[in-house]
């Protein structure tokens, strides 16, 4: 039986409300994780946040409910919302997880995350973010023999792609991946295997990946990301 116009309008309104709440959750989460609001700092009032973000107060209230459930803030009756996210505790936890993760375990997680990450980034990256990614690529292409300089720029390239998803949770999770990638085994592996010829091969691959991102070509971008994962897998097999 066809939906009534009123029912259809209600569904559209609900979907829009959900998108708006998600926008507020993502914006405030990024401000908290980025320490724009520090530990124990009081957030602006619901009225101020609503004006700042251009949304209704009930939208802000619902978003704050979700952020509190995620363990980033605590709301005190009559006092407001206070940040309880502690970046120092988070860093300590991240270091422990990174140290306990082996190279093959890391590779499995990258295989799960990175293709989806690139798909979201192709959809979501702003022109300015793509321009900044191109600037990092230019720096990568200037490297000829310094393996570790190339690795640092490669990590920055991947970090910018993660940020381009505009998904705070994915960005945080990928930050843990990057911390794990910096383990000593990987640095030593690259010093042995990242020759000038291999650097040149990587540069061509990342150039193709960037062109696919700039063209908003999801299929090609995902394919190039998978090829990069295969190259890292080859290095791990050589190490074994």
Same domain assignment for residues 137 and 191: yes
User: Whole-prediction pTM value?
Assistant: 0.61
Task: Show the domain range for 211.
Answer: 90-239
Task: Summarize pLDDT for 32-90 with one digit per residue, the tens.
Answer: 877 788 888 999 999 999 998 888 999 999 999 988 887 889 988 888 999 988 776 65
User: What does the DSSP 8-state code read for residue 36?
Assistant: S
Same domain assignment for residues 71 and 99: no
- Give the pLDDT band (50/70/90) at residue 92: low
- CATH code where residue 152 lies: 1.20.120.530
Task: Summarize pLDDT for 217-230 with one digit per residue, the tens.
Answer: 999 999 988 888 88
Q: What DSSP string describes 126-155?
A: -HHHHHHHHHHHHHHHT-SS-HHHHHHHHH
Residue 30 has pLDDT above 60, yes or no: yes
Same domain assignment for residues 67 and 165: no
Task: Summarize pLDDT for 153-200 with one digit per residue, the tens.
Answer: 988 899 899 988 988 888 888 888 887 877 655 666 666 777 889 899
Same domain assignment for residues 205 and 149: yes
Same domain assignment for residues 112 and 176: yes
Closest CA to 116 of 222, 7, 240, 219: 222
Flag the least confident range among 111-120, 142-151, 207-216: 142-151
Task: Summarize pLDDT for 116-139 with one digit per residue, the tens.
Answer: 999 999 999 989 899 999 999 999
Domain count, the chain: 2
Q: What is the largest CA-CA distance in the chain?
A: 68
Last residue in a domain, options 65, 83, 101: 83
């Amino acid at each position: 039986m066809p939906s009534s116009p009123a029912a259809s309008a209600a569904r559209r309104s609900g979907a829009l409300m959900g998108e708006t709440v998600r926008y507020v959750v993502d914006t405030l989460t990024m401000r908290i994780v980025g320490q724009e609001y520090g530990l124990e700092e009081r957030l602006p009032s619901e009225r101020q946040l609503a004006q700042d973000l251009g949304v209704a107060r009930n939208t802000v209230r619902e978003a704050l409910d979700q952020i509190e459930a995620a363990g980033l803030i605590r709301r005190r009756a009559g006092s407001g919302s206070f940040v309880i996210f502690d970046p120092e505790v988070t860093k300590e936890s991240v270091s422990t997880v990174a140290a306990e993760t082996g190279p093959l375990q890391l590779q499995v997680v990258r295989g799960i995350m990175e293709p989806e990450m690139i798909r979201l980034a192709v959809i979501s990256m702003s022109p300015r973010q793509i321009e900044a990614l191109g600037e990092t690529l230019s720096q990568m292409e200037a490297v000829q023999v310094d393996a570790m300089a190339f690795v640092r720029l490669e990590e920055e390239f991947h970090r910018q792609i993660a940020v381009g998803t505009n998904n705070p949770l994915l960005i945080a999770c990928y930050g843990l991946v990057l911390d794990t990638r910096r383990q000593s085994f990987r640095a030593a592996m690259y010093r042995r295997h990242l020759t000038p010829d291999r650097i040149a091969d990587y540069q061509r691959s990342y150039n193709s990946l960037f062109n696919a991102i700039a063209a908003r070509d999801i299929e090609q971008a995902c394919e190039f990301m998978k090829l990069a994962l295969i190259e890292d897998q080859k290095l791990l097999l050589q190490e074994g």
